[in-house]
Amino acid sequence: MDNNRGLFDDLVKENPEESSIDRLFENLLSMKPIFSNREVLRPSYTPDYLPHRLDQINAVAEILVAALRGESPSNILIYGKTGTGKTATLESVSKKLMDLSDKMHIECKVLFINCERIDTQYRILAHLARHYNRDVPITGWPTDQVFNEFREALDKKEQIAIIILDEIDNLVKKSGDDILYNLSRINADLKKAKVSIIGISNDLTFTDYLDPRVKSSLGEEEIIFPPYNADQLRDILEQRSKMAFKDNTLEPAVIPLCAAFAAQEHGDARKALDLLRVSAELAERQRDTVVREEHVRKAREKIEIDRITEVVRTLPTQSKLVLFSIVQLDSTGSHELNTGDVYNVYRRLCRMIDMDVLTQRRVTDLISELDMLGIINAIVVSKGRYGRTKEIALSVPAESTRKVLLDDYRLRTLKDARPHFETQQRFNESQPG
């Protein structure tokens, strides 16, 4: 009997919690909504009209119109930084091309491949072959066999295949240019079908990694997508905001501020849209019915912390130790950290957790990599007859970075570690006796 009463008591305790959750959802749903369609602010959404990309849309269309005449369009390389509308432009033009080809009864297919996810020659060829209903295993076949399967399936009838390789620079850096060599020359082996290749790259220098023959055949046409400026970003945000938000939910300063912040980040429209969306989501969580300037500033900080968290979390252990050394030194209030200071602390931390100590030259390389990731700022300065060194400063919030680093089980024992300088000691040792 007593046991049953105890069980009943537990159930009674749980019910109020369930009721409070129900009430929480009811309260949230009863609030006046800010969004009418938040999905239009996500990178996956492609609007019917792309502001400030008419020149690029026309350039792509003028090349691809050859497919509607039954001809093979020239291969294209498209360059531009992240968030400059490259993928959205290709998706928009491709959709219109497919619609027109259907109306004109022309066999034309656009095959879109994201090379960040499908990143080897085998995977790309298998993906293409499966599109034409060939049963290719995930692994196990020789690459030549997979290529032949795709080629034979493609050449069954007269058709145009436009293969778009998004993030092509990732593919080349990881797997080389063999796949590009084979695809760019496939037309010579086809009797009925024709293939056109479009490569989309965030890196303007990626062709430096290509064989000259691949570079020549792949880059028959080149189109550059410049970064958006603040006024252009404002137009993009205005366009999306009309679809994304209820009336009178944005303060007038919100969109110009989002555009200004994103313009500082190399004119990245994705970042501008993310910033606007997160600003509105923060306003909702605070039970506000209007998005204000303060929400934008908080959202910018949150996005930056989230980005840093992801980058820092995926660093190799040795890079984490170097960064932790910099964070530790920064906590002392010193604003003039150099490579020697960082190396001394790094060496002591390695010994504390029984890690191999890298050479100072290798640690200098890791500092340069952290600089490239935007986590620190490292400037080479001359010390005259004492040589050159790097002056190092954190570019990210120290405390949040420290917390992410200590999430790594290998670094947790360093929680109470304290930095100590040997700078003065080195200086004294260098003086004549």
Question: Binding site for ATP, residues?
Answer: 84-88, 228, 240
Residue 340: exposure state from Cβ atoms within 10 A (0-12, 13-18, ≥19) = middle
* Closest to 329 measured CA to CA, from 394, 412, 375: 394
Distance CA 188, CA 172 (A): 23
Apex 232 CA angle, 226 and 237, nearest 5? 120
Q: Which amino acid is at 63?
A: I
Asked if 341 and 327 touch (Cβ cutoff 8 Å), the reply is: no
Element (H, E) at 391: strand 388-394
Residue 119: exposure state from Cβ atoms within 10 A (0-12, 13-18, ≥19) = middle
Helices (H), 286-359: 293-313, 317-330, 339-352
* Closest to 69 measured CA to CA, from 94, 97, 90: 97
Angle between helices 317-330 and 360-372 in degrees, nearest 10? 80
Distance CA 353, CA 190 (A): 60
Instruction: Find tokens 């093979």 and name the residue.
Output: 72
Distance CA 115, CA 169 (A): 8
Annotate 23-74 with DSSP letters as a single string: HHHHHHHHSPPSBS-GGGGSTT---SS-TT-HHHHHHHHHHHGGGGGT-PPP
Dihedrals phi, psi of 335, to nearest 5 degrees = -110, 5
Helices (H), 112-177: 121-131, 143-154, 168-175
Q: 3-class SS at 390? A: strand
Tell me the C-alpha to C-alpha distance, in Å, between residue 379 and each of 359, 373, 384, 393, 409: 20, 14, 15, 9, 31
Angle between helices 54-64 and 86-103 in degrees, nearest 10? 40
Residue ranges for the binding site?
A: 84-88, 228, 240
Annotate 69-130 with DSSP letters as a single string: GT-PPPPEEEE--TTSSHHHHHHHHHHHHHHHHHHTT--EEEEEEETTTS-SHHHHHHHHHH
Radius of gyration, alpha carbons of the chain: 28
